[in-house]
Amino acid sequence: MTKKASVTISPKKSCREFAKKVKQLSGQNLQLCYQCGMCSGNCPAAPNMDISPRRIIELARLGLEEEIAGSRTVWVCASCLACAVNCPRGFDLSKVMEALRLLTLRKNVDRVRPEDIPPEKRSELPQIAMVSGLRKFTG
């Protein structure tokens, strides 16, 4: 599941501004997490992720923007909140995932372009899927 076994942390790579933005957007205190891994253990989307949910928190609080930017993890999170209700620290990881998605989407980079969904699929998908999907994957 994990993309890389180790990452290099250096003052050059670590961006305090990024960690601050994540904290502001999510309203979550990233220092609360003690890395127990309950979030990863309970996440039904974890098999589809390249960086585990637990590791995302660590990378975000270290301000390692580049490590997160290329990952598919935040895009396969379905905001099901299995992580949030099982966290012994009362930390809501779904809000951090949302903040990380928005930091990309707000650069006017959409994850899904409606015109790329085949027309037959577009008419078949229920509104609830289209509305929710486009809310999460477009800026």
Partner 1 sequence: MSLAYYPGCTLKTRARNLEEPAVASMKVLGLQLDEVPRWNCCGGVYSLAEDDLIHQVAPIRNLIRVKKQGKTELVTLCAFCLNTLKRANLLMKEDVEKRNTINSFIDEGLDYSGEVEVVHLLEVLRDYVGWDVVSQMVKLPLLGLKVAPYYGCTLLRPREVAIDNVESPVIFRDFLKALGARPVDFPESTRCCGSYQIVSSPDDIAEYARPILNSALSQGAEALVLTCPLCDYNLGEGQQELMKKNSGFRRMPQFYFTQLLALALGLDPKICHFELNYGKPESLLRIKNLLA
What is the C-alpha separation between 93 and 46, in angstroms, rounded?
13
What is the C-alpha separation between 49 and 12, in angstroms, rounded?
27
Regarding 132 and contact with partner 1 (CB under 8 A), the answer is yes
Query: Total residues at the site for partner 1 (CB under 8 A)?
Result: 40
Regarding 78 and contact with partner 1 (CB under 8 A), the answer is yes
User: 86: part of which helix (H) or strand (E)?
Assistant: helix 82-86
What is the C-alpha separation between 4 and 123, in angstroms, rounded?
40
**In whole angstroms, how close is the CB of 86 to partner 1 at the nearest point?**
9
Regarding 117 and contact with partner 1 (CB under 8 A), the answer is yes
Which stretch in 3-11, 31-39, 56-64, 110-118 sits in contact with partner 1 by CB under 8 A? 110-118
**In whole angstroms, how close is the CB of 77 to partner 1 at the nearest point?**
9
Cα-based distances in Å from 47 to 56, 59, 65, 81, 118: 15, 19, 22, 16, 26
Regarding 73 and contact with partner 1 (CB under 8 A), the answer is no
Regarding 48 and contact with partner 1 (CB under 8 A), the answer is yes
What is the C-alpha separation between 78 and 94, in angstroms, rounded?
9
Per CB under 8 A, residues contacting partner 1 are 24-27, 44-45, 47-48, 75-76, 78-82, 84-85, 92, 94-95, 98-99, 102, 111-112, 117, 121, 125-137
